[in-house]
Structure 1
Amino acid sequence: MELLDPRLVTAGALGALAVVGLLIGSFLNVVIWRVPRGESVVSPPSACPGCGHAIRPRDNVPVVSWLLLRGRCRDCGRPISARYPAVEAATALLFVLVGLRIGWSPALPAFLYLAAVCLALALIDLDVRRLPDAIVLPSAVVVPVLLLVASLVLGDIGAMLRALAGGAALFVLYFGLMMLKEGAMGFGDVKLAGVLGVALGWLGWGELVVGAFAAFLVGGLFSIGLLLLGRAGRRSRIPFGPWIVLGAAIGVACGEAVWDWYLGFLL
């Protein structure tokens, strides 16, 4: 599906997306830390884990505050992880890239939401080896609803039907893999694949097929690399969530072009 609209590709619009991404990224840092621990993302306010002092508003400006504080707490001098500004900057970059790919389309909110959620889930999976239902299950509702609204606005119900087919296909594929080999997949991976299948299917069959294949390709290459370097064994459990997310990103970015090239090569 061709979505790019030149009206969005302006410095002002992309700058606005970047600013929104920075703000969302700051919130994602809270989500990534608290959700796996079953804590509220609303209260209490963020505080330094060293001295317990609440973070001042002026010290909570995305990226900028970390740079001005030189990566340390204002009160106790404890180092602040560089991952905090990295997540904020990465979210801003993702929002800009999504804007460039999707354009000024009714589907833009769905893909911005998905970009933020996927970044959080990928990092959580790396940290704790699971994908929390508190994030995945709401996404299984929010993404289809937003895309349904986009389909109605665009008058393209076929895209929504394709989205549902894509979500079902990836859910069944991952569920089958989970049942086929114990430990190969977690049910969180299955549910996430279903959500991403909806988004990829909405864009097109090429995005869906390439996004699904790319997850296994990049995940497999990474696993082989770890084995060759002696960083993992045959029985090591490597979180697959980040690779599902990366594969989907590849599908969104270039799935249509790769699929067209592949079909042209075959024919």
Structure 2
Amino acid sequence: MLGLEPTMLVAACTVLGLLIGSFLNVVIHRLPIMMERDWQRQCAEASGKPQPSFEPLSLISPRSRCPHCGHAIGALENIPIISYLFLRGRCKGCGKPISVRYPLIEALTAVLFGYAAWRFGSTPALAGALLFIAALISLSFIDADTQLLPDDITLPLIWVGLLFNLNGTFTTLQNAVIGAVAGYVSLWLVYWAFKLTTGKEGMGYGDFKLLAAIGAWFGWQMLPLVILLSSLVGALVGIALIVLARHDRNVPIPFGPYLAAAGVIALLWGKELTQAWLGLIY
């Protein structure tokens, strides 16, 4: 898509976002299942028990099905957003409701892809931005569903961020390496400080890796903004859940979605926000 006229580039990336968003729905649903099956196989192997038998499952096969009746989703039923509206949000096979989250993820991905195209234009940074956005959307919803941040996404995200910064796409390589280390260590220290103080685990190791990935993409200078934004939004949402939704205080709230949201903000508006923040201080 490099070399396209700006309006065409934004339109092309928006359509691409719809298609990628549809695939992300598959990733969000299937990757935790694949991880759990792998853990069960490892446990069986370690304990000397027979290997459990599962239906073959990957990110590309079998075809998506209705969770209620098993109806296989055809191509015409899988057009992003349009199919959901045409089917009025219900399965063609059994008529049971289809979660509105599917078209919302497709729309969110399309909007962010389109904005990234407008923000970065026909540059290598655009390719990185689209990859980064897709990864963070997947991580956010997987963490919200399962309180897991899969290494299959977070670890490659760290290395890809460093590769993009070999030529200084988002920051210098030196800042990126320091950012990856500082991102991991900062939350690792918070984790142990909280655990030693309260005897409880306040977050998981996946959060460390996600912040390390954000540091690898945008450098250590962006980490204070990311930590501030994610903590602020997380605190506000947590208080709202406890007060309005009567969320049990002892039930953990995943931190990954707030880190991911802050990471996307850092991608799209990080430099401007950092400069504004420094202007207020000095």
- TM-score bracket, normalised by the shorter chain, equals 0.7 to 0.9
Which deviates more from structure 2 when the two are superposed, residues 19-28 or residues 159-168?
Answer: 159-168
Instruction: Determine helix, strand or coil for the equivalent of 2:208.
Output: helix
Which SS does the other structure have where 1:12 is aligned? helix
Specify which of 60, 70, 75 is matched with residue 93 of structure 2.
75
* Cα displacement string for residues 131-170 of structure 1 (whole angstroms, at most 9, x for unaligned residues): 122222222223322333x53xx6x9x6222112112111
- In the alignment, what sits opposite 2:184? 171
CA drift at 1:9: 7.6
Q: Distance in 2 between matches of 1:97 and 1:45?
A: 31
Q: Is the 8 A contact 2:6 2:118 kept in 1?
A: no
Which stretches in structure 1 are left out of the alignment for 5+ residues?
Answer: 1-6
Q: For 2:65, what is the secondary structure of its paired residue? A: coil
Displacement after TM superposition at 1:81 (Å): 1.2
1:42-61 aligned within 5 A: 42-61=60-79
Q: Tell me the residue number matched to 2:17.
A: 21
CA contact (8 A) 2:158 2:217 kept: no
Letter matched to residue 129 of structure 1: Q
Q: 1:66 to 1:174 in 2, by over 3 A?
A: same
Corresponding residue of 1:104:
122
Please name the residue that 1:33 is paired with: 29
- Aligned partner of 2:269 among 224, 245, 254: 254
CA distance in 1, matches of 2:165, 2:115: 19
Q: What is the RMSD computed on CA atoms of the aligned residues?
A: 2.2
Percent identity reads 40
Counterpart residue number, 2:43? none
User: Normalized against structure 1, the TM-score is what?
Assistant: 0.86
Q: Which amino acid aligns with 2:160?
A: V
Whether 1:146 and 2:161 are equivalent positions in the alignment is: no
Distance 1:47 1:234 in 2: 36
* Structure 2: distance between partners of 1:78 and 1:241: 31
Q: 2:175 aligns with which of 144, 151, 162?
A: 162
User: Contact (CA 8 Å) 1:109, 1:146: kept in 2 or not?
Assistant: no
What number of residue pairs does the alignment pair up? 253
- Contact 2:184 / 2:212 at 8 angstroms: preserved in 1? yes
Matched, 1:235 2:250: yes
- Check the 8 A contact 2:211/2:259 in 1, yes or no: yes
Q: Counterpart of 1:4? A: none
With normalisation by structure 2, the TM-score equals: 0.82
> Does the 8 Å contact 1:214/1:248 carry over to 2?
no
Structure 2 gap ranges (5+): 35-56, 196-200
- CA distance in 1 between partners of 2:242 and 2:93 (Å): 44
**Is the 8 Å Cα contact of residues 9 and 121 (structure 2) preserved in structure 1?**
no
Q: Secondary structure of the equivalent of 2:124?
A: coil
* Aligned AA (1:255): G
Q: Distance in 2 between matches of 1:43 and 1:147?
A: 34
- CA separation in 2, counterparts of 1:59 and 1:127? 25
Code of the aligned partner of 1:161: Q
- Assess, with a 3 A threshold, how the Cα gap between structure 1 residues 81 and 266 changes in structure 2: closer, same or farther: closer
Q: Is the 8 A contact 1:94 1:115 kept in 2?
A: yes
Q: CA deviation at 1:210?
A: 1.5
